[in-house]
Structure 1
Amino acid sequence: MKFYTYLGISLLSVMFFGQAHANVTDTPKPRIIALAPHIVEMLFDIGAGAQIIATTEHADYPLAAKSIPKIGSSVRIQLERVIELQPDLIIAWQSGNPSDDLARLQQLGFKVVYSQPDTFADVAKELRLFGELTGHKVQAERIAAQFLTDLANIKQHYADKPLITGFYEVWSRPLTTVANSSWPQQFLALCRIENPFQHVNTGYPQVNIEQVLQANIQVVIQAFAKKQANSNGYNWQQWPLLPAVKHQQLLMLDADVVHRMTTRSLQALQDLCQQAEQSRSYYQQLKD
């Protein structure tokens, strides 16, 4: 009799704890509106892509992101659509979404979390944050750790390379480059590319061609989106006295990768560093 009683209690215990465990693992994951392409991409990285119920235009990676409904842009968010969808969480780009719309959403009671990755280290931090918020903590930690390991390896590989002087073209009309507070400047620094405009106060300064010609630029870096024609870039060939033009050292990057603050940015970093190393070798051969 004691055996059956004990067995009954044991079975009840198994049923109770089994149900408790099921309740924990079956906790519904939040339905998310992600208001920037880099946010969408990072959510897919950590396994939370299926939880995204809406996003904004230009969220096109990975392929599955193209089918997610678009409810706005960097200029305006369709507030009525947000209200209709009733998300559990809104992840917004602090410097890339309209602040008045975000303030209104918070007033309406929606939970808004802000994303603002300004450095590679910030990407890892946000991956971990998104993992906490979405129920994908383990995968987020794994992806963030791998990202930081890959970044450290690239840093170590190029740390002692000789400097080469470069100009990063953000926009051609007006001619615009990068400085210390910009996202691309860290690419130049890690690839050992000296930026003569690095210490300008604004992150994306406008410059004139005379300033560029005076800087003895050895490489010009141009970033174009796949759907963007290269003809949109500055016509450097009209300045053959510039070393980068004279020696045809124009480096090309995929703007959709290099300008998006995600794990893929390390692909662009590696690409730029490799191209810069080829240019170094070219100039070294000229000296020899």
Structure 2
Amino acid sequence: MKKLCLCISCLILLVALPGFAGEPPRRIVSLAPSLTEMACALGLEKNLVGVTTFCDRPASIKGKPTVGGPANPSLEAVLNLKPDVVLVDEEGIGSKLAKRLQKLGIRTVTFHGSRLDKLAPAVRQLGSDLGVQQPANQLASRIEQSLKPLKTTSPVKTMFVIWPDPLVAAGPGSMLDDAMKLSGMSNIASDARSGYPRLSLEAVITRNPQLIIAGQGEKLAGPMKRMLGHLNSLDTVKQGRVCMVSDALYRPGPRIPEGIAELRHCLELAHKGGKP
């Protein structure tokens, strides 16, 4: 009888705890912009009590308490928000903070979706971890639909500019490189030793990309113009095969399908030989 009462008491305790029995956590702190977007896409925006200073999407999260940047989150700020769960990215500094939080008895969920082939499974797992399986399954299916490879017999030589000065491009092992391959592009930096290598202007001219892709933004406009000025001997620059995209592919989040669509629109630019 005593054992039965003990089992019942434990069951009641587990059900009462947030995050168990399919109950979404009531207080969530996100340590990555991509995870903030993901939580909101899964219907948990009202449960977010803390985000990073870089979390800017969706616009409706403006005003949420912040816990520092993704690279330097404050343990004290996180603890002050009394979270039921803290979301961390596998590649961010938050993964180190997660160990400290776990020692303090705070539940953490690590998102393992830094590559495109891992993204949909990671979304489903996140849905399971946060008690929102149905919307997670729907989002994962939408992502999978967008990741069908584009059949092409002649991949377009492409440079994806992360930052123009100094010139940093998307390299092998990065999500951007994955997206380029899926979209019928051949990355001119595919032989680099890192996912985000620095390239010399001379190397770019030698490799002669057929298409240049870069992000948008006021901070990028000036440096980008100067970089293209140094590359004006390339037919790609002369003919305007320079495509500006949003930050959708910079974050392993719910806007990946839109990012893939943008890349494929850029591919049309290369085939047309002019501006979109």
Under TM normalisation by the shorter chain, which class is it?
A: 0.7 to 0.9
Letter in 2 for 1:219: L
**2:5 alignment partner in structure 1:** none
For 1:75, the equivalent position in structure 2 comes to 71
Structure 1 residue 130 corresponds to structure 2 residue 126: yes
2:268 corresponding residue in structure 1:
277
Deviation at 1:27, TM superposition (A): 4.9
What's the secondary structure of 1:276's corresponding residue?
helix
**Does the 8 A contact of 1:176 with 1:207 survive in 2?**
yes
Distance 2:145 2:56 in 1: 27
User: 2:104 matched to which residue of 1?
Assistant: 108
Secondary structure in 2 aligned to 1:170? strand
Moved more, 117-126 or 211-220: 117-126
* Structure number with larger C-alpha Rg: 1
Q: Tell me if the contact between 2:120 and 2:140 (Cα under 8 Å) persists in the aligned partners.
A: yes
From 172, 177, 183, the equivalent of 1:185 is 177
Asked if structure 1 preserves the Cα contact closer than 8 Å seen for 2:120 and 2:144, the reply is yes
Question: Which of 244, 257, 263 is residue 248 of structure 2 equivalent to?
Answer: 257
The answer to whether 1:171 aligns with 2:163 is yes
Matched residue, 2:193: 201
CA shift, 1:270, in A, is 0.9
Change (3 A) 1:75 1:147: closer
Q: CA deviation at 1:190?
A: 1.6
Equivalent-residue separation in structure 1 for 2:65 and 2:97 (angstroms): 18
Partners of 1:241 and 1:174 in 2: how far apart? 19
For normalisation by structure 1, the TM-score amounts to 0.81
Note closer, same or farther for the CA distance 1:200–1:145 as it changes in structure 2 (3 Å cut).
same
Q: In 1, are the aligned partners of 2:109 and 2:129 still within 8 Å (CA)?
A: no
Q: Which amino acid aligns with 1:36?
A: A
- 1:236 corresponding residue in structure 2: 228
**Distance apart, 1:187 and its partner CA:** 2.0
When normalised by structure 2's length, the TM-score is: 0.84
Q: Which residue number in structure 2 is paired with residue 38 of structure 1?
A: 34
CA contact (8 A) 2:241 2:273 kept: no
Deviations 1:154-188 (A, max 9, x none): x2xx3125322111111122211122111211121
CA deviations on 1:77-122 (whole Å, 9 max, x unpaired) are 2222222222111111232225553332222121122124222232
Matching residue of 1:12:
none
Task: Give the total of aligned pairs.
Answer: 256
| Secondary structure at the counterpart of residue 137 of structure 2 | helix
Q: Which runs of 5+ in 1 are unaligned?
A: 1-22, 284-288
Structure-2 residue corresponding to 1:213: 205
State whether residues 240 and 273 of structure 2, in contact with CA within 8 Å, keep that contact through their aligned partners in structure 1.
no
Task: Please say which of residues 35-44 and 78-87 is displaced more in the overlay.
Answer: 78-87
Q: Secondary structure of 2:87's partner?
A: strand
3-state SS, counterpart of residue 172 of structure 2:
coil
Runs of 4+ in structure 1 deviating by more than 6 angstroms, as ranges, are 23-26
In 1, the alpha carbon distance for the partners of 2:208 and 2:236 equals: 8
CA, structure 1 residues 127+28, in 2 after alignment: closer, same or farther (shift >3 Å)? closer
The code of the aligned residue for 2:146 comes to: D
Distance in 2 (CA, whole Å) between partners of 1:45 and 1:71 is 21
Partner of 2:238: 246
The CA deviation string for residues 198-257 of structure 1, in whole angstroms up to 9 with x for no partner, is: 0222111111111111112211111124x5341132521233321211212111111x32
Percent identical across equivalent pairs? 23
Are the counterparts in 1 of residues 248 and 259 from structure 2 also a CA contact under 8 Å?
Answer: yes
